């Protein structure tokens, strides 16, 4: 079943890239007591994700903060090393938390996984974004397959 507005995010443990190597962070670590904008991409370094999706949140971070967003997190079914390399490539600093959902457990738990095997990528996350306030989903924007219309920061800013 797909997560919906009003649902609590499930418990999960992500790996995040740090200067000391990958470190675990739980759903509670990321979302408890905060309003978080989370966006998910099918894969780090993929064309749309690198050219438009991640840059939109990087560019609009201060506008999201002005709307009460305490943190921005980027989720991908990649490992923490890939997420760290992608963050470095994209010039991401502490303004966006890079969440590695290496086995896709979180994407599956919220019902937003997709099978990208025909592209040689295996199970990945669908492209989506959401806002969670203290771990409860207040806004959810899920893309249709192969689209990028509703999950970018610009769209989120218009609808929160």
Residues marked as catalytic: 49
Residues 6 or more apart in contact with residue 104 via CB below 8 angstroms: 77, 113, 123, 124, 125
In the three-class reduction of DSSP (H, G, I as helix; E, B as strand; rest coil), residue 130 is classed as strand
Tell me 154's DSSP state. H
Rounded-to-integer distance, Cα 5 and Cα 49, Å: 24
Q: In sequence order, what are the beta bridge partners of 15?
A: 24, 100
Give the H/E segment covering residue 36. Answer: strand 35-41
Q: Is 76 left (phi over 0), alpha (psi -120 to 50) or beta?
A: beta
The gap from C-alpha 77 to its chain's centroid, in whole angstroms, comes to 10
Rounded-to-integer distance, Cα 65 and Cα 69, Å: 5
């Amino acid at each position: 079943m797909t997560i919906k507005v009003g649902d609590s995010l499930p418990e999960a443990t992500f790996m995040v890239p740090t200067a000391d190597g990958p470190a675990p962070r739980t759903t509670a670590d990321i979302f408890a007591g905060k309003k978080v904008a989370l966006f998910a991409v099918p894969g780090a370094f993929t064309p749309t994700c690198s050219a438009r999706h991640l840059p939109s949140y990087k560019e609009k971070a201060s506008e999201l903060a002005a709307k009460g967003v305490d943190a921005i997190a980027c989720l991908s079914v990649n490992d923490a090393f890939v997420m760290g390399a992608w963050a470095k490539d994209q010039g991401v600093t502490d303004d966006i938390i890079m969440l590695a959902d290496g086995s896709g457990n979180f994407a599956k738990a919220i019902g937003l996984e997709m099978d990208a095997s025909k592209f040689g990528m295996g199970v990945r996350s669908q492209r989506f974004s959401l806002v969670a306030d203290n771990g409860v989903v207040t806004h959810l924007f899920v893309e249709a397959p192969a689209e990028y219309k509703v999950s970018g920061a610009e769209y989120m800013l218009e609808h929160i």
